[in-house]
Amino acid sequence: MLDLNFICDNVEAVSANCRNRGVSVDLQAIAALRQKRNELITQGDSVRKEQKESAALIPKAKDPAEREGLIARGKDLREKVGSLDAELEAVEGQLREQQMRVPNMTHPDAPVGELESQSVIARTWGEIPKFDFKPLDHVQLAEKHDLIDFDGGARVAGSGFYFLKNEAVLLEMALVQFAIEKLRKEGFTLHSTPDLARQEVLIGTGYNPRGNETQIYSIANTDLSLVATAEITLGGLLRDSIIDFEKLPLKYAGVSHCFRTEAGAAGKASRGIYRVHQFTKVEIFGFTAPDVAASDAFHKEIVRIEEEIFQGLGLPYRVLDICTGDLGGPAYRKFDLECWMPGRGEYGEVTSASNCTDYQSRRLAIRTKMPDKKGNVFVHTLNGTAVAVSRALIAVLENYQQADGSILIPPALRKWVGQDKIG
Protein backbone atom coordinates (compact mmCIF):
# COMPACT_ATOMS: atom_id res chain seq x y z
CA MET A 1 0.00 0.00 0.00
CA LEU A 2 1.01 3.61 -0.36
CA ASP A 3 2.29 5.65 2.55
CA LEU A 4 -0.65 7.40 4.27
CA ASN A 5 1.05 10.78 4.42
CA PHE A 6 1.97 10.50 0.74
CA ILE A 7 -1.68 9.86 -0.14
CA CYS A 8 -2.95 12.82 1.87
CA ASP A 9 -0.17 15.18 0.77
CA ASN A 10 -0.53 14.28 -2.94
CA VAL A 11 -4.28 13.90 -3.36
CA GLU A 12 -4.36 15.26 -6.91
CA ALA A 13 -1.59 12.95 -8.21
CA VAL A 14 -3.00 9.91 -6.40
CA SER A 15 -6.50 10.67 -7.68
CA ALA A 16 -5.25 10.95 -11.29
CA ASN A 17 -3.35 7.68 -10.88
CA CYS A 18 -6.50 5.94 -9.62
CA ARG A 19 -8.46 7.20 -12.63
CA ASN A 20 -5.77 5.97 -15.02
CA ARG A 21 -5.91 2.56 -13.41
CA GLY A 22 -9.70 2.39 -13.36
CA VAL A 23 -9.91 2.25 -9.56
CA SER A 24 -12.53 4.13 -7.55
CA VAL A 25 -11.24 5.21 -4.14
CA ASP A 26 -12.64 7.88 -1.80
CA LEU A 27 -9.50 9.84 -0.96
CA GLN A 28 -11.49 12.42 1.01
CA ALA A 29 -12.74 9.65 3.28
CA ILE A 30 -9.12 8.59 3.86
CA ALA A 31 -8.14 12.15 4.78
CA ALA A 32 -11.13 12.43 7.11
CA LEU A 33 -10.28 9.13 8.81
CA ARG A 34 -6.68 10.24 9.26
CA GLN A 35 -7.89 13.46 10.87
CA LYS A 36 -10.25 11.52 13.13
CA ARG A 37 -7.43 9.15 14.11
CA ASN A 38 -5.14 12.07 14.98
CA GLU A 39 -7.87 13.67 17.10
CA LEU A 40 -8.47 10.42 18.97
CA ILE A 41 -4.73 10.00 19.61
CA THR A 42 -4.54 13.56 20.96
CA GLN A 43 -7.61 13.04 23.16
CA GLY A 44 -6.23 9.74 24.44
CA ASP A 45 -2.88 11.30 25.32
CA SER A 46 -4.63 14.14 27.11
CA VAL A 47 -6.83 11.81 29.16
CA ARG A 48 -3.85 9.59 30.04
CA LYS A 49 -1.94 12.65 31.22
CA GLU A 50 -4.89 13.67 33.39
CA GLN A 51 -5.18 10.08 34.63
CA LYS A 52 -1.53 10.05 35.65
CA GLU A 53 -1.81 13.42 37.40
CA SER A 54 -4.97 12.34 39.21
CA ALA A 55 -3.38 9.07 40.36
CA ALA A 56 -0.36 10.98 41.72
CA LEU A 57 -2.66 13.09 43.95
CA ILE A 58 -4.33 10.10 45.65
CA PRO A 59 -1.48 9.32 48.13
CA LYS A 60 -1.25 13.02 49.02
CA ALA A 61 -4.96 13.44 49.74
CA LYS A 62 -5.57 13.77 53.51
CA ASP A 63 -9.31 14.14 53.34
CA PRO A 64 -11.06 10.75 52.82
CA ALA A 65 -13.75 12.39 50.73
CA GLU A 66 -11.12 13.98 48.49
CA ARG A 67 -9.37 10.62 48.13
CA GLU A 68 -12.61 8.88 47.24
CA GLY A 69 -13.30 11.59 44.67
CA LEU A 70 -9.87 11.10 43.10
CA ILE A 71 -10.34 7.33 43.00
CA ALA A 72 -13.73 7.74 41.33
CA ARG A 73 -12.23 10.22 38.91
CA GLY A 74 -9.48 7.73 38.10
CA LYS A 75 -12.06 5.07 37.35
CA ASP A 76 -13.93 7.42 35.01
CA LEU A 77 -10.70 8.31 33.23
CA ARG A 78 -9.79 4.62 32.79
CA GLU A 79 -13.16 3.98 31.22
CA LYS A 80 -12.73 7.01 28.99
CA VAL A 81 -9.28 5.80 27.88
CA GLY A 82 -10.75 2.38 27.13
CA SER A 83 -13.56 3.93 25.10
CA LEU A 84 -11.14 6.16 23.16
CA ASP A 85 -8.81 3.22 22.48
CA ALA A 86 -11.70 1.12 21.17
CA GLU A 87 -12.84 3.96 18.93
CA LEU A 88 -9.26 4.52 17.75
CA GLU A 89 -8.87 0.83 16.91
CA ALA A 90 -12.07 0.92 14.86
CA VAL A 91 -11.03 4.07 13.00
CA GLU A 92 -7.56 2.67 12.30
CA GLY A 93 -9.15 -0.50 10.92
CA GLN A 94 -11.37 1.54 8.60
CA LEU A 95 -8.43 3.72 7.59
CA ARG A 96 -6.20 0.74 6.78
CA GLU A 97 -9.01 -0.89 4.78
CA GLN A 98 -9.47 2.27 2.70
CA GLN A 99 -5.71 2.82 2.38
CA MET A 100 -5.19 -0.71 1.06
CA ARG A 101 -7.67 -0.06 -1.74
CA VAL A 102 -5.45 2.65 -3.20
CA PRO A 103 -3.30 1.13 -5.99
CA ASN A 104 0.43 1.67 -6.34
CA MET A 105 1.66 4.70 -8.22
CA THR A 106 2.59 4.09 -11.86
CA HIS A 107 5.89 4.27 -13.72
CA PRO A 108 5.87 7.45 -15.85
CA ASP A 109 6.68 5.40 -18.99
CA ALA A 110 3.82 2.91 -18.56
CA PRO A 111 1.15 3.36 -21.28
CA VAL A 112 -2.06 4.96 -20.05
CA GLY A 113 -5.22 3.07 -20.97
CA GLU A 114 -8.19 1.28 -19.46
CA LEU A 115 -8.29 -1.77 -21.73
CA GLU A 116 -5.84 -4.66 -22.11
CA SER A 117 -5.69 -3.86 -25.83
CA GLN A 118 -4.11 -0.49 -25.00
CA SER A 119 -0.91 -2.16 -23.79
CA VAL A 120 2.06 -1.46 -26.04
CA ILE A 121 4.15 -4.05 -27.90
CA ALA A 122 7.73 -3.39 -26.80
CA ARG A 123 9.37 -5.97 -29.08
CA THR A 124 8.92 -9.36 -30.72
CA TRP A 125 11.24 -12.35 -31.09
CA GLY A 126 11.26 -15.37 -33.38
CA GLU A 127 9.42 -16.29 -36.53
CA ILE A 128 5.78 -17.35 -36.41
CA PRO A 129 5.77 -20.88 -37.90
CA LYS A 130 4.21 -21.34 -41.32
CA PHE A 131 2.64 -24.77 -41.61
CA ASP A 132 1.87 -26.45 -44.94
CA PHE A 133 -0.97 -28.23 -43.15
CA LYS A 134 -3.80 -27.16 -40.86
CA PRO A 135 -2.29 -27.04 -37.37
CA LEU A 136 -4.09 -28.68 -34.48
CA ASP A 137 -4.59 -27.01 -31.13
CA HIS A 138 -3.14 -28.53 -27.96
CA VAL A 139 -6.43 -30.24 -27.05
CA GLN A 140 -6.49 -32.09 -30.37
CA LEU A 141 -2.78 -32.92 -30.11
CA ALA A 142 -3.24 -34.18 -26.56
CA GLU A 143 -6.09 -36.42 -27.67
CA LYS A 144 -4.06 -37.74 -30.60
CA HIS A 145 -1.08 -38.67 -28.40
CA ASP A 146 -2.88 -39.44 -25.09
CA LEU A 147 -1.20 -36.59 -23.23
CA ILE A 148 -4.00 -34.99 -21.17
CA ASP A 149 -7.04 -36.59 -19.54
CA PHE A 150 -9.68 -33.90 -19.08
CA ASP A 151 -12.53 -36.34 -18.34
CA GLY A 152 -10.53 -38.00 -15.57
CA GLY A 153 -9.70 -34.62 -14.04
CA ALA A 154 -13.37 -33.65 -14.08
CA ARG A 155 -14.40 -36.95 -12.46
CA VAL A 156 -11.85 -36.52 -9.66
CA ALA A 157 -11.92 -32.77 -8.99
CA GLY A 158 -14.40 -31.13 -11.37
CA SER A 159 -14.25 -29.02 -14.49
CA GLY A 160 -10.99 -27.13 -14.95
CA PHE A 161 -8.82 -29.92 -13.55
CA TYR A 162 -6.92 -32.48 -15.61
CA PHE A 163 -4.35 -35.27 -15.59
CA LEU A 164 -1.13 -34.90 -17.57
CA LYS A 165 -0.08 -38.25 -19.03
CA ASN A 166 2.85 -39.95 -20.74
CA GLU A 167 5.24 -37.50 -22.46
CA ALA A 168 3.28 -34.50 -21.11
CA VAL A 169 4.45 -35.47 -17.61
CA LEU A 170 8.04 -35.62 -18.83
CA LEU A 171 7.61 -32.25 -20.52
CA GLU A 172 6.26 -30.71 -17.30
CA MET A 173 9.28 -31.93 -15.33
CA ALA A 174 11.62 -30.85 -18.14
CA LEU A 175 10.19 -27.33 -18.25
CA VAL A 176 10.61 -26.99 -14.48
CA GLN A 177 14.18 -28.31 -14.65
CA PHE A 178 15.02 -26.03 -17.56
CA ALA A 179 13.77 -22.97 -15.66
CA ILE A 180 15.43 -23.74 -12.32
CA GLU A 181 18.72 -24.62 -14.00
CA LYS A 182 18.66 -21.21 -15.67
CA LEU A 183 17.76 -19.40 -12.44
CA ARG A 184 20.41 -21.20 -10.44
CA LYS A 185 23.05 -20.11 -12.95
CA GLU A 186 21.72 -16.56 -12.61
CA GLY A 187 22.39 -16.65 -8.86
CA PHE A 188 18.86 -17.20 -7.56
CA THR A 189 18.28 -19.17 -4.35
CA LEU A 190 15.88 -22.02 -5.14
CA HIS A 191 12.84 -22.81 -2.99
CA SER A 192 10.09 -25.38 -3.07
CA THR A 193 7.33 -23.42 -1.37
CA PRO A 194 4.21 -24.31 0.66
CA ASP A 195 0.97 -24.52 -1.27
CA LEU A 196 -0.85 -22.75 1.58
CA ALA A 197 -0.43 -19.31 3.11
CA ARG A 198 -2.07 -17.33 5.89
CA GLN A 199 -4.64 -14.67 5.10
CA GLU A 200 -2.39 -11.79 6.21
CA VAL A 201 0.33 -12.97 3.79
CA LEU A 202 -2.12 -13.02 0.86
CA ILE A 203 -3.42 -9.58 1.78
CA GLY A 204 0.16 -8.37 2.21
CA THR A 205 1.10 -9.39 -1.33
CA GLY A 206 -2.05 -7.79 -2.73
CA TYR A 207 -4.36 -10.80 -3.09
CA ASN A 208 -7.91 -10.87 -1.77
CA PRO A 209 -8.46 -14.23 -0.05
CA ARG A 210 -12.14 -13.68 0.77
CA GLY A 211 -15.20 -12.11 -0.81
CA ASN A 212 -17.23 -12.47 -3.99
CA GLU A 213 -14.47 -11.27 -6.33
CA THR A 214 -11.69 -13.48 -5.00
CA GLN A 215 -9.76 -15.83 -7.29
CA ILE A 216 -8.41 -17.70 -4.26
CA TYR A 217 -9.45 -21.06 -2.79
CA SER A 218 -9.79 -20.65 0.99
CA ILE A 219 -9.72 -23.44 3.56
CA ALA A 220 -12.87 -23.46 5.66
CA ASN A 221 -12.56 -22.69 9.39
CA THR A 222 -8.91 -21.59 9.06
CA ASP A 223 -6.98 -18.48 8.06
CA LEU A 224 -5.25 -20.49 5.30
CA SER A 225 -5.73 -20.36 1.54
CA LEU A 226 -4.24 -22.22 -1.41
CA VAL A 227 -1.70 -19.95 -3.12
CA ALA A 228 -2.33 -18.62 -6.61
CA THR A 229 1.42 -18.18 -7.18
CA ALA A 230 4.71 -18.59 -5.30
CA GLU A 231 4.88 -14.78 -5.34
CA ILE A 232 2.68 -15.04 -2.24
CA THR A 233 4.89 -17.47 -0.33
CA LEU A 234 8.22 -15.95 -1.41
CA GLY A 235 6.95 -12.46 -0.59
CA GLY A 236 5.71 -13.62 2.82
CA LEU A 237 8.94 -15.45 3.58
CA LEU A 238 10.58 -12.33 5.07
CA ARG A 239 7.46 -10.78 6.61
CA ASP A 240 8.24 -8.59 9.64
CA SER A 241 11.96 -8.73 8.83
CA ILE A 242 14.78 -6.23 8.56
CA ILE A 243 17.13 -7.21 5.72
CA ASP A 244 20.81 -6.40 5.86
CA PHE A 245 21.28 -3.65 3.26
CA GLU A 246 24.60 -5.13 2.13
CA LYS A 247 22.83 -8.37 1.12
CA LEU A 248 20.42 -6.66 -1.29
CA PRO A 249 19.25 -7.55 -3.83
CA LEU A 250 17.97 -10.91 -2.63
CA LYS A 251 17.24 -13.17 -5.61
CA TYR A 252 14.72 -15.94 -4.89
CA ALA A 253 13.06 -18.54 -7.11
CA GLY A 254 10.20 -20.82 -6.10
CA VAL A 255 8.57 -23.96 -7.46
CA SER A 256 4.95 -24.42 -6.42
CA HIS A 257 1.54 -25.56 -7.45
CA CYS A 258 -0.83 -22.68 -8.19
CA PHE A 259 -4.56 -22.74 -7.49
CA ARG A 260 -7.05 -20.28 -8.97
CA THR A 261 -10.84 -20.31 -9.04
CA GLU A 262 -10.87 -18.52 -12.44
CA ALA A 263 -14.31 -17.20 -11.57
CA GLY A 264 -16.05 -15.71 -14.59
CA ALA A 265 -13.57 -17.18 -17.08
CA ALA A 266 -15.11 -18.06 -20.42
CA GLY A 267 -14.46 -18.09 -24.16
CA LYS A 268 -11.81 -19.72 -26.29
CA ALA A 269 -9.08 -18.80 -23.78
CA SER A 270 -10.66 -21.32 -21.41
CA ARG A 271 -10.28 -24.22 -23.85
CA GLY A 272 -7.89 -26.92 -22.71
CA ILE A 273 -5.22 -25.99 -20.17
CA TYR A 274 -4.79 -22.28 -20.96
CA ARG A 275 -6.92 -21.24 -17.96
CA VAL A 276 -7.21 -23.95 -15.33
CA HIS A 277 -7.67 -24.32 -11.58
CA GLN A 278 -4.28 -25.89 -10.86
CA PHE A 279 -0.86 -25.81 -12.52
CA THR A 280 2.83 -25.92 -11.68
CA LYS A 281 4.92 -22.76 -11.90
CA VAL A 282 8.48 -21.60 -11.37
CA GLU A 283 8.39 -18.06 -9.98
CA ILE A 284 11.06 -15.36 -9.76
CA PHE A 285 11.05 -13.00 -6.79
CA GLY A 286 13.38 -10.23 -5.69
CA PHE A 287 13.95 -7.81 -2.82
CA THR A 288 15.97 -4.73 -3.77
CA ALA A 289 17.18 -1.51 -2.19
CA PRO A 290 14.34 1.02 -1.67
CA ASP A 291 15.25 2.92 -4.79
CA VAL A 292 13.40 3.02 -8.13
CA ALA A 293 16.67 2.83 -10.07
CA ALA A 294 17.58 -0.40 -8.25
CA SER A 295 14.17 -2.03 -8.71
CA ASP A 296 13.94 -0.90 -12.34
CA ALA A 297 17.29 -2.58 -13.02
CA PHE A 298 16.13 -5.79 -11.35
CA HIS A 299 12.86 -5.61 -13.30
CA LYS A 300 14.82 -5.55 -16.54
CA GLU A 301 16.84 -8.53 -15.32
CA ILE A 302 13.68 -10.54 -14.70
CA VAL A 303 12.32 -9.76 -18.16
CA ARG A 304 15.67 -10.66 -19.73
CA ILE A 305 15.64 -14.04 -17.98
CA GLU A 306 12.05 -14.72 -19.07
CA GLU A 307 12.96 -13.89 -22.66
CA GLU A 308 16.07 -16.06 -22.59
CA ILE A 309 14.03 -19.00 -21.28
CA PHE A 310 11.58 -18.78 -24.18
CA GLN A 311 14.35 -18.09 -26.67
CA GLY A 312 16.01 -21.24 -25.34
CA LEU A 313 12.79 -23.12 -26.04
CA GLY A 314 12.69 -21.66 -29.55
CA LEU A 315 9.20 -20.23 -29.10
CA PRO A 316 8.20 -16.98 -30.87
CA TYR A 317 6.90 -14.31 -28.50
CA ARG A 318 6.22 -10.64 -28.02
CA VAL A 319 6.76 -8.42 -24.96
CA LEU A 320 3.92 -6.14 -23.86
CA ASP A 321 4.33 -3.01 -21.74
CA ILE A 322 1.09 -3.30 -19.78
CA CYS A 323 -1.25 -0.30 -19.67
CA THR A 324 -2.37 1.33 -16.43
CA GLY A 325 -5.85 -0.21 -16.44
CA ASP A 326 -4.43 -3.74 -16.47
CA LEU A 327 -1.66 -3.38 -13.89
CA GLY A 328 -3.59 -4.58 -10.85
CA GLY A 329 -3.10 -3.01 -7.42
CA PRO A 330 0.54 -3.73 -6.49
CA ALA A 331 2.43 -3.23 -9.79
CA TYR A 332 4.30 0.00 -10.50
CA ARG A 333 5.10 -1.35 -13.96
CA LYS A 334 4.50 -4.71 -15.62
CA PHE A 335 5.71 -6.51 -18.74
CA ASP A 336 4.00 -9.62 -20.11
CA LEU A 337 5.49 -12.20 -22.47
CA GLU A 338 2.99 -13.64 -24.95
CA CYS A 339 3.90 -16.71 -26.99
CA TRP A 340 2.48 -17.46 -30.41
CA MET A 341 -0.09 -20.26 -30.11
CA PRO A 342 -0.94 -21.69 -33.56
CA GLY A 343 -4.05 -23.48 -32.29
CA ARG A 344 -5.57 -20.14 -31.35
CA GLY A 345 -3.98 -18.23 -34.21
CA GLU A 346 -2.86 -15.53 -31.82
CA TYR A 347 -0.48 -14.73 -28.99
CA GLY A 348 -1.25 -15.95 -25.47
CA GLU A 349 0.22 -14.74 -22.18
CA VAL A 350 2.89 -17.05 -20.73
CA THR A 351 4.79 -14.85 -18.26
CA SER A 352 4.37 -11.63 -16.34
CA ALA A 353 6.99 -9.48 -14.58
CA SER A 354 6.07 -6.74 -12.11
CA ASN A 355 7.94 -4.10 -10.15
CA CYS A 356 5.86 -3.47 -7.02
CA THR A 357 8.25 -0.93 -5.42
CA ASP A 358 7.42 -0.72 -1.67
CA TYR A 359 3.71 -1.47 -2.09
CA GLN A 360 3.93 -5.07 -0.83
CA SER A 361 6.78 -4.57 1.64
CA ARG A 362 4.84 -1.81 3.45
CA ARG A 363 1.98 -4.27 4.02
CA LEU A 364 4.36 -7.09 4.98
CA ALA A 365 6.71 -4.90 7.09
CA ILE A 366 9.86 -5.90 5.18
CA ARG A 367 12.50 -3.23 5.75
CA THR A 368 16.19 -2.41 5.56
CA LYS A 369 18.45 0.14 7.19
CA MET A 370 20.26 2.30 4.64
CA PRO A 371 23.69 3.71 5.54
CA ASP A 372 22.72 7.30 4.69
CA LYS A 373 19.20 7.38 6.20
CA LYS A 374 17.80 7.35 9.71
CA GLY A 375 15.44 4.58 10.68
CA ASN A 376 14.27 1.62 8.64
CA VAL A 377 13.01 1.92 5.06
CA PHE A 378 10.71 -0.43 3.16
CA VAL A 379 12.49 -2.46 0.48
CA HIS A 380 11.21 -2.89 -3.07
CA THR A 381 9.77 -6.22 -4.21
CA LEU A 382 9.50 -7.68 -7.70
CA ASN A 383 8.09 -10.86 -9.19
CA GLY A 384 8.03 -12.64 -12.52
CA THR A 385 7.11 -15.95 -14.11
CA ALA A 386 9.98 -18.15 -15.23
CA VAL A 387 7.68 -20.93 -16.49
CA ALA A 388 3.97 -21.52 -15.96
CA VAL A 389 3.90 -25.13 -17.12
CA SER A 390 0.36 -25.32 -18.50
CA ARG A 391 0.76 -22.38 -20.88
CA ALA A 392 4.36 -23.17 -21.82
CA LEU A 393 3.20 -26.70 -22.62
CA ILE A 394 0.53 -25.34 -24.99
CA ALA A 395 3.17 -23.31 -26.85
CA VAL A 396 5.55 -26.26 -27.10
CA LEU A 397 2.95 -28.74 -28.36
CA GLU A 398 1.41 -26.38 -30.91
CA ASN A 399 4.59 -24.78 -32.30
CA TYR A 400 6.54 -28.04 -32.58
CA GLN A 401 3.82 -30.14 -34.29
CA GLN A 402 4.78 -31.75 -37.59
CA ALA A 403 2.92 -32.64 -40.80
CA ASP A 404 3.00 -36.36 -39.97
CA GLY A 405 1.20 -35.69 -36.68
CA SER A 406 4.26 -36.05 -34.47
CA ILE A 407 5.53 -33.35 -32.08
CA LEU A 408 9.21 -32.52 -31.83
CA ILE A 409 10.68 -32.05 -28.38
CA PRO A 410 12.54 -28.70 -28.12
CA PRO A 411 16.29 -29.47 -28.16
CA ALA A 412 16.74 -27.70 -24.81
CA LEU A 413 14.40 -30.19 -23.10
CA ARG A 414 15.53 -33.46 -24.69
CA LYS A 415 18.06 -34.39 -22.01
CA TRP A 416 15.21 -34.53 -19.47
CA VAL A 417 12.49 -35.99 -21.69
CA GLY A 418 14.83 -38.65 -23.08
CA GLN A 419 13.46 -38.60 -26.62
CA ASP A 420 13.40 -36.32 -29.66
CA LYS A 421 9.71 -36.39 -30.48
CA ILE A 422 6.25 -37.55 -29.48
CA GLY A 423 4.53 -39.97 -31.87
Residues 165, 205, single domain; the answer is yes
User: Is position 344 annotated as part of the catalytic site?
Assistant: no
Which of the following is catalytic: 260, 333, 363, 367?
260
Residues 21, 91, single domain; the answer is yes
Which of the following is catalytic: 352, 354, 361, 390?
352
Which of the following is catalytic: 172, 349, 354, 367?
349
| pTM for this predicted structure | 0.92
Number of structural domains the chain divides into: 2
Give the pLDDT confidence of 14-50 residue by residue, as tens digits. Answer: 999 999 999 999 999 999 999 999 999 999 999 889 8
Q: In terms of residue numbers, what domain contains 90?
A: 4-101
Residues 171, 236, single domain; the answer is yes
Confidence of residue 163 (pLDDT cuts 50, 70, 90): very high
User: Is position 260 annotated as part of the catalytic site?
Assistant: yes
Residues 157, 84, single domain; the answer is no
Give the pLDDT confidence of 291-312 residue by residue, as tens digits. Answer: 999 999 999 999 999 999 999 9
Residues 129, 56, single domain; the answer is no
Which of the following is catalytic: 275, 333, 362, 367?
275
Residues 21, 166, single domain; the answer is no
Window from 75-84, 130-139, 252-261, 303-312 with minimum mean pLDDT: 75-84
Which of the following is catalytic: 21, 362, 367, 391?
391
Residues 61, 208, single domain; the answer is no
Residues 328, 363, single domain; the answer is yes
User: Is position 349 annotated as part of the catalytic site?
Assistant: yes
Phi, psi of 141 (to 5 degrees): -65, -40
